[in-house]
Amino acid sequence: MKEKDKMENQSLKEKIHRLITGLKDSSIDIRHQAVRALGEIGEPAAGPLIQALADAETNDHRWYIAVALSGIGAPAVAPLISALRIHTEKDFRRYAAAALGNIGAPAVEPIIDAMATDDREMRGFLSLALCRIGKPAVGPLTRRLDDADEIIRSCAILTLWQMGETGLPSMIDKIQEEK
C-alpha cells in the first residue's frame, strides 16, 4: 500500500472513531450529524460500529449506533448477522436486530438464511427484525414454507404468524393452494 493510501486509511479510521464518539455527545444535533456521516461513509464504518454496539453501556447509545448501522444499509447486513452469532448479550442482539429491521428489504433473504441455526434466541431476534421489515419479508417467508430445512420452515411459519394481518393471509393462501 502506498504511503498516501495508508494516510487516507488512517484518516478515515480516525474520522469513524470521532463520529462514533459523537454518538454519545450531549448535543442531539451532533449525534444526528454523526449518524448521517457514518451512514455516508458506509461499509468501512460497519465493523467499528458493531464493535461500539458490543461495547455500549447505555440503550441510548445503542440506539444511535443501530440507527447509524441501518443508515449504511445493505453493506451492514452480513457483518451484523455474523456479529449476532458471536455476541449473545440480549441488548446487543436487540439493537442489532433493530438495525437489520430498519435496513429493510435488502436484509430479508440473509436474515431468513441465518435462521438455520440451533441458537433459538438468535432466531427470535431475527424474526423480530423480519416483523419490523413487514410486507417486503412476506413473500420470501412464504416461499420458505416449503424449505428443505425444518428450522427455516418453522421460523417462516412462526414469523408470518407473528406478523399478524401482514403475514397470515399469505400463509393461509399457501396452505389452501396445497390442498
pLDDT value, residue 144: 94
How many Å separate Cα 24 from the centre of its chain?
Answer: 21
Single-letter residue type at 111? I
Question: What pLDDT is recorded for position 177?
Answer: 72
pLDDT (tens digit, 0 to 9) for every residue of the chain, 179 residues total?
576 666 677 789 999 999 999 999 999 999 999 999 999 999 999 999 999 999 999 999 999 999 999 999 999 999 999 999 999 999 999 999 999 999 999 999 999 999 999 999 999 999 999 999 999 999 999 999 999 999 999 999 999 999 988 776 776 776 667 66
CA nearest neighbour of 173 among 141, 151, 149, 134: 141
pLDDT of res. 165: 81
Closest alpha carbon to 62 in 23, 13, 33: 23
Rounded to whole angstroms, the Cα distance separating 42 from 34 reads: 12
The cell 433459538 sits on which residue? 120
Round to whole Å and give the CA distance between 122 and 44.
25
Under 8 Å CB-to-CB from 38, ≥6 apart: which residues?
16, 19, 20, 23, 45, 49, 68, 71, 72
Q: Which domains does the chain have, with CATH numbers?
A: 1-103 (1.25.10), 106-179 (1.25.10)
Q: Whole-prediction pTM value?
A: 0.88
Residue 101 and residue 133 in contact, taking contact as beta carbons nearer than 8 Å:
yes
157 CB contacts (<8 Å, ≥6 apart)? 145, 171
Q: What is the pLDDT of residues 53-63, one digit of tens each?
A: 999 999 999 99
For residue 170, the model assigns a pLDDT of 74
pLDDT at residue 149, rounded to an integer: 94
Distance between CA atoms of residues 73 and 5, nearest Å:
25
